[in-house]
Every structure is written in structure tokens, then in C-alpha cells.
Chains A and B, each alone.
Chain A
């Protein structure tokens, strides 16, 4: 803004900054969620403690449901398929992938909030029901203050607004149409997640350690992302994805400044690689995966389920938009690199999972391997690849949420019994829970008639059609390795004798039961009758520019 402009504004004549044009209707899913989050903060401040839990649960569920209704209404209007727009001064895109992934994130968040709301699994603290979160987050673990908070029956109901803020950021992330909006969204959903990780009621030190690790490494990766943004701005003179693509393809008007910055591609390629690092960190691809096992293990299990499902969806959404909208012209440059990352991710994830002894770490490595499988679909760079990744994310998020929800049920006196040895013979004692978990494991392994098979089949098919046959072969081989450790757990559950004094399966309330039921339902429906959803994903598979 120039000095004269400022003066003119001060003088009361016509303002030189046009008011931004905001399409509130089309942005409503995010606005509703953010509104619910803010309302949640107010609830925390003004509502008496004994009413907070129920008001927060209700508020969160209503907010998410309202946002989902908004998504459905927008989709029914043809937004995302026939009428695609750029919103809010071209910073947010309203197209098929954005709407589809927003829908998936919202559904996953509903299921996650249901598992947050569970209060029947933990033993009661001074006759008040307790949930999975610390009584008082600020109290030193094991200290006198903590004991007092537990005695008083405190709870950290802040998890609900925190989660809503994270969900809002996640909704924006795959829809962000310029690099700065994308960065802001990344931070908006990451910061609440760092906090949420630290809030476990049991094993609080482990939980806090996980949060610090996640925060430090997350900040590190965000820095790369931001640096990449700067380099790209230096190259293309814009942070808008469409403009960057135009400069790369040579369609943009060449100003003298552009002529000088685009003389070499070093800025462009380095920037591209650094953006990729930021996103690969979030999806948990090798070699940026190191945080995943530690954080997944340390975080409260409902939060782990939420992170594993929704973060992956949001991050892959942004990844797809970045590479399909801004850099399709550079595919010859980035595809070989991504090939390497995908292969490494699949192999390392599968191989490392083989020797895991903790069920949460096992699922963490499995999530790394799955990031690799999804990457194979991303690399296809065709409509089919896009559709298959959308479908995979839908399928995967529900299996993951369901699996972590089952983990919360298997408990001993010290809380969740996550060591695999204590799961031995679970099928004898609790056939239903073990059968449900076996179903999720089979879905992870990609056995037919489960959603995992359909999803894997779709991405591999797309990758093969995109010419990445070697990648598919590596994918199938690491699936075989992965099948080993999934089936090993099934064998352990059904064909080993139960340990005396082993864990018991707690009877959950309707919240967790509904969450697990939703996981089972989606897993089976997407395995048996995937047609509608495959069509939906493929119809949504078109980015706006």
C-alpha cells in the first residue's frame, strides 16, 4: 500500500482497498465447524463444570453434522461437479475433491468425537465417570495436584473445541488454492493436534513426550513448507497454484521480473521438493515418518484414531491439489522422486511392522505402509488415480478409526493393554470384539470383500494404467509382507491360549459401540457394494483451477 493511498483513506475519500468478496454459503462447512469451535471455547469459559461434558459433546456433534449437511447440500447443488468455483479471492477452491474430502473428514470426525465421548471404559474417579483424557492437563504427572484433580472428578473437556479447530483446519487444507492459505490451514489443524496428544489420562509422561516430539518435528517440517513457499513465490511471483502452473507451462504473461527469475529452474525444483517434504511429513511417508510410531503410541487412543484417519485425508488432499494443479507440468521431474518415496514407504512400513510388539505401534507402521499405497495412486497423475485415492482415503479412515476404537476396549488394571502378548486368546474370551478387530485387520491387509481390497485394487489399477508397473509390483509384495503381521495378530487372537490374568474386554457405552459399528458397516459396504462410492469418487475427481 502506498503512502498516498493511506493518506487518501485517512482523508475519508474512496477507500483504495476493495472489501474482499466472501462466498459465505459455499464456505459454510468450514464456518460452521469454526463457529462450533469458538462456541466450545465459550462453553468452557462460562458453563458450570458439571454440564460441560454433555454440552461440549452435543455442540461438537451438532457442529459436525451441520457442516456435513452443508457439504451434502453443496454437492447436491452440483458444486464440485458441474459448478466449480474459486472462493474468497481465489484462495479457496470449491471442487469435487475438496467437497468429497471435506465430507470424509467430517464423517471421520463424527466417529472420532464419539470415541472421545466414551466414559464407561475408565474406572470412575470419585464416583464421577472418567474419559480417556487427563483430569487436569497442567498438573504434573504423578503429583499431588493431579491426584486432587482426579479426586475432584475434573476432566479436560477442552478436547472438543480443540478437535473442532483441528477439523476446521483440515477442511480448509485440501481446499486451499494458494500456498499461504495452505500453510495457514496446516498450522490451524496441527497446533490443536500437538496439544491433544499430550492429554492422555494414563501414561501421561509418554503422552507428553509424544506431544513434544510431534511439536518439534512438526515445526521443523512446517519450516520446510514455508521455505518452499517462499522459493516458489520467488520463482513465479505468485503463491496461487493456478498462477504457478501457468508460469511453469509458459502460458503466463512474461514480465521482465518473471523473465529473470524463471531463467533457471533451481528455485522451482528446490521449492517443489521442500513443499513435498512438508506434506510427506504429515502423511507419514519415509523418511519423514519417524514421529508416527512414537506419537501414535503416546497419544490418547481416541486422538490417535482421529489423527491417523483425518490428518491423512487432509494431507493427501493438499498433496493431490498441489501436484495435480500446480505441478502437473513438472511430472517428469517429481514422479521419479515420488516413486522412490512410495517404494521406500511401503517397504519400510511393512518390514518394520513385522517385529512390533505393541498394537498401537503396529497400527502406526501399518499406517506408514498405507501412506505408501496411497502414494502409488497419487503418482498415477490421471483422473483414475485421483478417484482411486479419494476412495482409498474414505475406506482407510473408517477402518483406522474402527481399529483404534477396538484398541480402547482391551484393558487391564493399568489401562489399555496394548502389548500384543496380552491379546493372545482374545478370540476365545470375546469372540465378537476379536472378530471385529480381525475384520479391520483383513481390511488393512486388503483381503477381498472388505473395503481395503477395493481401495488397494483401485489405486494399483490406476498406478498400472499410469505406467507404474514396478511400483505396483513392489506394492503387492509389501502387501504380502504386511499381510503376515496382520494375520499374525488374528492367529494370536484366535489360536493361542489366553494368558491367565490377561486383559479383559470392557463393555463400551453406545458412543464407542456406534463408532465401531460405523467402521464395520463402512468396511463391509465398501467391500461388498463399492459401486456407488467408486462412482462418487470418480465423479468428484476433477480439480478446479
Chain B
């Protein structure tokens, strides 16, 4: 059974290879092949899952050693896998949601000339993400990590003919490189400290390592997580990444990529548990991002960018709670899974709306769509209720647990975190209600597109609506299922451990507070957008709104804080490089070249000279051998 684990990764990887190398012969059915392979991987996941459930909680983690890549003394680079409850959860999420997104893309990309290539990249994305979560050591995890980076670059920039898409892809890649650098430094530190990158020696050795070193490793891992999960300060790529086709956004935001950071932190629990300073940093990053993303989400008129802000904010919740240690890991993953359902559903819904509206993205040009796209409306609506935490739906259970855990941190910190989380709930409810009202309710504010065609909104084809329906079902029931008897907590506990915190507030109080905050947000939004007409041209707005529209000036900040000093530094370095170092390097190269041309003359083609040089060489060899003895 365990031999299925490599096949999880191999199936989509083979799909990517086949589709990329297969050529136009595969144009006709390549997309179905890719979808089938994603589904096959999901099938493997299910088989492994049922096998895992058949074993006792202690024996559920299994490993599979595929081969050693260069084992030498003191350096062991293995290709081996570990499938435990944590990676199993991710495998099912990635392959399940991933397959649905493949299916959706069949309809969405039906008219794209480069559809085969698109599906190849989707498969590659899945393979890389699966490798990331089933790796048994940080080095192999890093391979998957970089693979995710590559696949996201290819997909975000898929419509490369648009300069904005090409730029967005580059931006995502470069910002992610910063995070990747963190991960590689963390891996090097681990190797220095523990002499291995494999999970077991690292986690086992953590208790013997100094706290300073663990904090350093933890901070570097956090930097890595910030990059992939779009957390402050490496959040800037996420909004621009909307330039990719909508299924890509769904994949990045729900099943792959942004969840990688949460996985990394949860997987490295053993290190973070012993490095309280690093944990504090994690919590702060999470809390800041959760508010940052929510505020940005309120101001965006582009439906996908509003959803992107919400992703940032929801991942912020997960990072925050993962930073709380054993009281939070399981809830981080639980929210990650429920979020996977409703965020994928919301994005696919957004794509469906765009599909019907001539690829219009501004919500100010929507309005009143519920009658024209009933399926989209209902599925999107259920996703909406889930994300704001409407009682009974998925998001309600997972978010409630997070807020409870935040208060349970205890002390002033606990109050600050709890209140941040509560404010986040209000803001989430506000902007998601805004999205809902602007899109599906109110007046029709439809505008003709660039070529003057008036939009004729219509429901999307079956290949698109079926995935949306399935995801909506998940958005409704997953949370309740997980919360029932704390089943999700029990499931993950053997891997992440669990501790009960001491919340200053009773669980019921927290639940009531959360619901009240949520309702306040919905109400406020209704007053602002539901009762009065929405202007087609955005009003000027307050300074905060204007800043939020520009992503709270993140690009300006990056430009001023990093790009300009960076350019200046580069200019200085170039100056010194061309004057000093380059001179040295070029000089060295010229010297080697010069020596080479001079030595070449010895190779004159005369056999007598060759024989002479051999004779001289022999003399030298005999003489030195004899001389060595006299020393």
C-alpha cells in the first residue's frame, strides 16, 4: 500500500511531462488526460486514506523510501516520503480540490489555443505541491517548494501576451525568491545544527539545540512561509497574481501555494514549540496580515482582488493560530481545509460571473446577476456564508475555534490577539457582503466591453457548475463534520500534539461575540451598499480607502524601502564591481587565456618535441621519486 505514495506525485508529474512533450497530437484530449491523472492521484489518496483509517492512531504515519541520492559520510540526501495525518489531510485537499479545478478549467479554458500547455502546468503545480507535503526531509520539501514557485510563475504569466500578466508573474517569482532564500538558509542551519535534513533527526534533536539557534531557524522558516503564503511583509505578489486565468487563482488560493506556508510552520512544530520568540513573530505576522488583507479587501472593486485580500486575511488567521503552538496547530489546518472549500468555490464562482460578463472584473459593472446565474448565485452565496462564519456552515466552526485559541493565549497578548481576530471577523463580513451585494443584487450596472458588445450574462456550462456545486457542499458541511466530537482534532493530534489553553472567556461567550461581530459587519455593509444605489464610477473616498485601493501602499512602500535603496546599492556595487572585482576577474580570465595561448605553442605538432617533453617528464619523475626517499 505504501508504494502508492510515490505514485501520488508521479501521476500528475507524468501528466505534465506527457502534455509538454507530447506535442499537438495531444491537443484534442490532453485536458481530459490531465484531469484524469489528477483524479487518479485523488483516487490513490483515498485508497491510502482508507488504509490509514484501518490502523490505530499511533500507527497511521507511514514512510516510503524510494532511493538515496548520493549518500556519503555525513551527508544523506534521500528521496523518501512520509504520509501521516497531516500530509494525508493536505493530499486529500490538494488532489480533491485540484481535480475539481481541473474539471472546471476544461470549460473555462475551452477556447484557449494553448489549453494543453495550461493543463500541463496545472498538473505540474499539483505534483510539486504533493511532493512538498509528502516529503520526509526538508531538502525534498524544498524541491517541491521550488516546483510550486515555478508552476505558479508559469501559470500567473500564462497570458504572457499581456504585459501586466508577465509583470505579475515576475513579481510573484521574485517576491517568492526572498522566501525561498529563507527556507534554504533554514535548511543549512538545520544541517549545521543537526547534521541532517530529515524530519526525525531534526525534530528529535531540537530539544538538545540552543534556543538561539532554534529561533534563527524558526525565523527563517517564517520568512519562507511569508513568501509562499503571502503574509506581511511578502504579501505584495498575491493581488497581482490575479492576472492569471481564474482557475489558477482558485488553485493558488485554495489548494496549493498559499497553504504551503501554513504546512511548513505546522510541520516544523517541534522547532517552533521550543522557540517562543519565533512563535511570537509568527503570531504578529499573522495578526497584522489578517487585518491588512481584510482592509484591502474592503476597498477593491475588482472581484478577484477583493477575494485575494480575503485570502491573505484568512491565511493570516491560520498563521496566527499556528503561532500559538499546540493549542492552535490543529485549528490552523482545520481552517485551511474549510477555507480550501469555500475559497475555491468563491473563485470558481467569480470566474463563472466573469465568464458570463465578457471577462469584466469590476463589481461596479455587475449588479442584479442572481436571476441570470442561479447556480453561480447559490454556490457563491453558500461560500459567502461560510467565509463570514455564518452559524452552522464550515467557516463558523473553524474560525470560532481560532478566535477561542487566540483568547486562550492568555494575558494581554491573548486579549490583543482575540480582539484583532474579532475585528477581522467584522471586516470580513463587511467586505464579503459588499461583494455579494454589488455582484448579485441591486441595479444592473452593466457596461459594454471594449468592442462595444453589451454583456449577456448566462449560466456557465456543466463542467464549470458541477465543481462549484461540489465545493459548495464542502463549504456547508465540512466544518460541522470536523467539529463533531472534535473529530478533526483527534485525527491530527498524534502529529501536531494538542494542548487546551485557558481562555478568559467561556466558549459560548466567544461564539456569541463572533456571531455578533459578523452580524455587525453584514449590517454595516447592507446599509452602505444594499440600501442605496452604487455609483458606477468609484467615489473619491477617504484617505484610508484610497490607500487600501492601492493595497495600503505596499508597492510604494516596497519601492521606497527596498527597490530604491536596492538600486542604489546595486549601482554602487556595479561601480566597484566594474572597477575592482571585474578587473580582477577579467584579469584572471585574461591571464588564463594568455597562459593557454602561450602553452598551446608547446603543442607544435612535431613528434620530436613531444618525445623530448616525455623524456624530460620521465627524468623529472624518476628524480623526484628518488628525492622523496632522501627526505
Binding site for B on A (CB under 8 A): 212-213, 216-217, 220-221, 224, 265-266, 269-270, 272-274, 276-277, 281, 286-288, 290-291, 293-294, 332-334, 336-337, 340-341, 348, 351-355, 454, 457-458, 461, 465, 481, 484, 528-531
Contacts and interface: CB of A to CB of B under 8 A. Distances in A.
B527 interface: no
Nearest to B620: A287
Interface in B252-281: none
25 contacts: A217-B607, A217-B614, A266-B626, A269-B625, A269-B626, A273-B621, A273-B625, A273-B626, A274-B622, A276-B621, A277-B617, A290-B603, A293-B603, A333-B625, A333-B628, A336-B628, A337-B624, A337-B625, A337-B628, A340-B624, A354-B596, A454-B70, A461-B72, A484-B589, A530-B69
Contact of A290 (B71, B589, B614, B625): B614
Contact of A355 (B71, B600, B607, B626): B600
Nearest to B75: A461
A217 B599 contact: no
3 shortest A-B CB distances, which residue pairs?
Answer: A287-B617, A290-B610, A355-B596
Given A293-B603, A461-B72, A530-B70, A213 B622 contact: no
- Residue from A213, A287, A530 having most chain B Cβ neighbours under 10 A: A287
Nearest to A529: B67
For chain B, the bracket of interface size reads: 35 or more
Nearest to A462: B72
Given A213-B607, A351-B592, A355-B600, A220 B614 contact: yes
Given A269-B626, A290-B614, A461-B72, A351 B595 contact: yes
Contact of B614 (A276, A287, A336, A529): A287
Given A266-B626, A272-B625, A273-B622, A352 B593 contact: no
B383 to A, nearest CB: 43
A457 B621 contact: no
B599 to A, nearest CB: 5
Nearest to A448: B70
Nearest to A458: B72
Contacts of B597: 355
A337 B616 CA distance: 15
A315 to B, nearest CB: 16
A461 B70 CA distance: 11
A6 B395 CA distance: 106
Given A273-B626, A287-B620, 19 more contacts: A265-B629, A273-B618, A273-B625, A287-B616, A291-B610, A333-B629, A336-B628, A337-B625, A341-B621, A352-B596, A352-B599, A352-B603, A354-B596, A355-B593, A457-B70, A458-B72, A481-B592, A528-B69, A531-B67
Contacts of B626: 266, 269-270, 273
A529 B600 CA distance: 39
Contacts of A270: 622, 625-626
B452 interface: no
Contacts of B67: 529, 531
A465 B75 CA distance: 14
A511 to B, nearest CB: 25
Interface of B: 67-73, 589, 592-593, 595-597, 599-600, 602-603, 605, 607, 609-611, 613-614, 616-618, 620-622, 624-626, 628-629
A201 to B, nearest CB: 22
A31 to B, nearest CB: 35
A340 B625 CA distance: 11
A336 B611 contact: no
Contacts of B628: 332-334, 336-337
B621 A290 contact: no
A272 B592 CA distance: 34
B21 to A, nearest CB: 12
A221 B616 CA distance: 13
A273 B602 CA distance: 24
A531 B68 contact: yes
A175 B160 CA distance: 61
Contacts of A287: 613-614, 616-617, 620
Nearest to A353: B596
Contacts of A216: 607, 611
Contacts of A272: 625
Contacts of A290: 602-603, 609-610, 613-614
Contact of A336 (B71, B603, B609, B624): B624
A205 to B, nearest CB: 13
Contacts of B609: 290
A217 B69 CA distance: 43
Contacts of B629: 265, 269, 333
- Residue from B595, B614, B626 having most chain A Cβ neighbours under 10 A: B614
Nearest to B78: A531
A212 B613 CA distance: 17
A122 B589 CA distance: 40
Nearest to A334: B625
B618 A274 contact: yes
Given A293-B603, A337-B628, A217 B593 contact: no
A16 B628 CA distance: 46
Contact of B621 (A337, A458, A528): A337
B53 to A, nearest CB: 34
